[in-house]
Structure 1
Amino acid sequence: MMINRRALLKGLAAAPVAIAAGAATGQQPAAAAATAARAPIGPQPVSADLSYLTASHFKLKYRTTTQAGTVAPYTQVINDIQTVGALPSATVDDVLKSANRTGSKILLSEMSGFAQGWTWDKNTTDGTGLWYPQGLTTSADYADGGLYNGRKVILVSWYDHLDETTGKGARISFVDMTNPDAPKYRHVLLVEPYLDPSTGGAGTPNFKAIHFHAGGIMWYGKLLYVVDTSKGIRVFDTTKILKVTANGDDTTIGRQSNGTYTAHNYAYVLPQSAAYDAQAPTGGERAIQWSFISLDRTTTPDSIVVGEYGLPDDPADHKRVFRWNIDATTRLLTATSNVATAVEAIQIDVNEMNGATSVNGKYYIARANGNSNGDLVTWVPGSLVNYNDLLAHPEDLAYDKNTGWLWNLTETQQERYVFARNISRLQ
């Protein structure tokens, strides 16, 4: 969520913010150290507001055609862009091999179960307020064995923080974790293909930036799922990455007057290939606020968990988690006539949820706490809630069952980290 929004919130518990070594000087040592100083709060009663909702009231409809400009199949427009603009295809491997930034190792020695972590390249804008990281997924989501073509990979979503409605949109960091102490990465811009009707006829194939929060992501096979706060889920086919061959002013995007395509000076774009449009809930339920998403490989079949960020002092704000089954063969949500129906819906009433996943029936929730340290909430339905230590402004979660690690990231400029914890060490 946005930092300026949180600054207005009242924390439920005050705690000192952990500061990375070197942060005061703006310099990044080879291995920064940070401390999550607050001890676990311990078991807490489940809220009296906890209740199971009727899951069938919540549905998503699968769509493969564009909505911007002239309606056409996404795949057709992507192929036409390649033909008209002579844009070559690129693979995830191509992006990883062209990585142009390097992260730095961090040590969170006081954090229970800390396994591994790093921070972004401080010599770039990645540590500034221009962009804010939000969603996280790993190659353990991509494939059951935990690897993408033999290597560990992390994907992270960012949104243009300075101008979320008209800026550069949203992007994905493709991170090669071959060397976890110095991961290499490159940003790829998310774009929406469309046929531009202003050119007459059937319209000219084009793409534009997507202005959304990109609050959570999940990479399942070739498909990347990205939640869109009020609309549902956008889907991107990672085999459809395009290499942008024209340079340009970083304010331009899409087809230019000379017939070339630019993308705010990004070398690669990942076009949207489908969408799951949220349907109006039945039974008098409120529409879902799509804040985060994760994959649960411990259910049969695999499933996704999505949920909502809710303000602590606003009872009308959304604080729910939902589950949909997903097909390991097609990589699409289980559906009938292109309509996917939720299989679980819970009013959990945990404030400020920025990420959640479940492992063998146990929920792990990244909870913000105003501008204080956050909480990693663990909860088994029907049991007690535990609050474990966490850094300030935690975001999305992703679980790797091969290592037993729970990955998390933080968005604040002072502690902009990506890190894993061993869940066997957590309450």
Structure 2
Amino acid sequence: MKQRGRHRRRRRGRALRAFLSGTALALTAAATMISVSQATVPDHGPGDLKPLTASADTANLRLTEHRVPQASLDRLAAGMGRPVGVGAVLAGADRGLRDAIDCSAAERRALPVSPAASRAYCWNTDDTEGWQPGAVTTSGDADDDGTWGANRVILSGWSRTGGTADGRGLARVGFVNAGDLNHLSYTWALLAVPVDDGRDYRGLVSHVSGMVWYQDKLLVTADAGNRTALYVYDMNRVQRATVTGDAVGRVPGGWSANGSRFVLPAIGSYELSGGSDAPHPATVSLDRSTAPDSLVAGEWTLDDGDRSARLWRYPFSTAPGHEGLLATDATGRVRASEAYETKVTGVRGVLSYGARWYVTRAAGQQDEHGTLWRQDAGKTDGQADGKKGKAQAAVCGAKETHDCWSPRTESLSYWEATGEVWTQSGRALFALPLTSIDRTTG
């Protein structure tokens, strides 16, 4: 039986790879029919990144760290029961993602044309209806060997757009067991914030557009409606919900999480401490090519706007007892170690690795696909003299258009151990090698 099962999986794997290849060809053929009257980017593109070095440009990027009192966290754990770890959450993963071959034509339209996805899956419609997809991070971010304990994990952020008034805007994370890439299973955990000194919790009301799992901490972006820029969660402090229902928090008979089986209560936050012009980090990713490792952040801009978007990074702490948190000074402030401007409009996701930066542009109103630009900080590869170069992006169909990428990828996560970049758009979760991005944009 085991022998036949392995053969079946191999045949299905070959069929899936052939399907993805065929889908990429079909999408490429469709892209050649895109009218050049749609929004296009000039051949020279947005150019290189512009370094921001003046103190006036970098001072407003500062964050201030705030911790939830330990007594509040202990009181919440005492009321809800002993916290569990990631392994226990994955053991409860009772839903399955669909392979690309089982995705609908509409769902597959969220996949990029060039570079093409090498792995693709689709979320179920019954438990994502009324929810908006957002950021992706993985155990490849959490640990440089790509695993968390014995587990390979993908985390997928979602925010609620429908439902009751009390539930609208809630944020949750899908814990995906990626140990077998031919069969991804998942379950949900609600993102929460302790209140009343740990006697209760409220749901985090925010679109999860950025998320990074680093060591044992999960950093999640918060919407621009307040001064909070990032919420911090401890992956060793997952709590079980004991009551099934739409409510959030303490209810008669136990604890409810709007239908999720688990709850992640925040242990802290980072608040913007710059001036009124302080950019909100709407998208974040991890860069392991720096020393120390760093959190890369970017602000969103309007699809057809004319204002440059700011991209910057914060170093992670190497201090004992500060694992997974950003580096702070004696006053609890976090300062950006590097900052740039990009002329890419409609910025959504950003990734940095080595000397290269990757910025995704959302699809415009008349476009079927977005754009993935590769930019350099002041020069292109091989230009040791520092002369200005140009940004690179894949060209699809007519030479004038670069609309090859997925319509709306709000984050990019590089799994260094496998060389893959993971992201999602619509109900499609997909991955592709970073080398294919470099090859296509080169």
TM-score category by the smaller chain? Answer: 0.7 to 0.9
8 Å CA contact retained: 1:192, 1:271: yes
Residue 53 of structure 1, CA deviation: 4.7
How far apart are residue 260 of structure 1 and its match? 2.4
1:93-122 CA deviation, whole Å, 9 max, x = no partner? 111111021012227695435322211124
- Aligned position for 2:327: 334
Select the residue among 422, 428, 434 that pairs with 1:417.
428
Contact 1:291 1:309 in 2 (8 A): yes
Pick from 93, 96, 119: which aligns with 1:102?
96
- Taking the aligned partners of 2:146 and 2:292, their CA distance within structure 1 comes to 18
State the 1:377 CA deviation.
1.2
**8 Å contact 1:53–1:347 — kept in the other structure?**
no
Moved over 3 A (4+): 29-36, 38-43, 45-51, 107-111, 163-166, 312-316
Match of 2:231 among 226, 234, 245: 234
Please say if 1:78 is aligned against 2:78. no
Deviation sequence 1:366-402 (CA, Å, 0-9, x none) = 2112242011111112231122321222221011222
Structure 2: 5+ residue stretches without partners: 1-14, 33-39, 102-110, 379-388, 395-403
What SS does structure 1 have at the residue aligned with 2:118? strand
Q: Corresponding residue for 1:397? A: 412
* Rounded Cα–Cα distance in structure 2 between residues aligned with 1:235 and 1:227: 9
Contact 2:219 2:231 in 1 (8 A): yes
TM-superposed CA distance for 1:344, in Å, is 1.4
1:179 alignment partner in structure 2: 180
Amino acid at match of 1:373: H
TM-score normalised according to structure 1 size: 0.80
Match of residue 156 from structure 1: 156
Q: 1:95 to 1:120 in 2, by over 3 A?
A: same
In the TM superposition, what is the alpha-carbon distance from 1:51 to its structure 2 partner?
5.0
Percent sequence identity over aligned pairs: 24
Report deviation, 1:87: 2.6
- Contact 1:294 / 1:398 at 8 angstroms: preserved in 2? yes
TM superposition shift of 1:259 = 6.0
1:254 to 245, 249, 255: 249
CA distance in 2, matches of 1:402, 1:225: 21
When you count strand as a share of all residues, which structure comes out higher? 1
Cα distance change on mapping 1:125 and 1:346 into 2, 3 Å: same
> Per-residue deviation at 1:125?
2.6
SS in 2 for 1:301: coil
Match of 1:135 in 2: 135
SS of 2:405's equivalent in the other structure is: strand
Alignment match of 1:125 (pick from 124, 127, 133): 127
Aligned length: 369
Letter in 2 for 1:385: A
Structure 1 match to 2:400: none
Q: Measured at CA, do residues 204 and 159 of structure 1 come closer, stay the same or move farther in structure 2, by a change above 3 Å?
A: closer
Question: Counterpart of 1:226 in 2: which secondary structure?
Answer: strand
- 1:200-211 correspondence runs (5 A): 205-211=199-205
CA RMSD in angstroms comes to 2.7
Contact persistence 1:103–1:182 (CA under 8 A):
yes
For the 8 Å contact 1:134–1:216, the answer to whether it is kept is yes
Structure number with the higher helix fraction is: 2
Quick check: 1:375 aligned with 2:363? Answer: no
Determine helix, strand or coil for the equivalent of 1:188. Answer: strand
Q: Is the 8 A contact 2:222 2:229 kept in 1?
A: yes
| Structure 1 letter corresponding to 2:180 | N
Task: Name the counterpart of 1:359.
Answer: 353
Partner-residue secondary structure (3-state), 2:280: coil
The aligned residue for residue 314 of structure 1 is 305
Map Cα deviations across residues 144-165 of structure 1 (whole Å, 9 max, x no partner): 1111112321101100122798
Q: Contact conserved, 1:102 with 1:185, CA < 8 A, in 2?
A: yes
Following TM superposition, by how much is the alpha carbon of 1:322 offset from its aligned partner in structure 2, in angstroms?
1.1
- Return 5+ residue gaps in structure 1 as ranges: 1-28, 66-72, 196-202
CA contact 1:308–1:353 (8 Å) conserved in 2: yes
Amino acid at match of 2:236: T
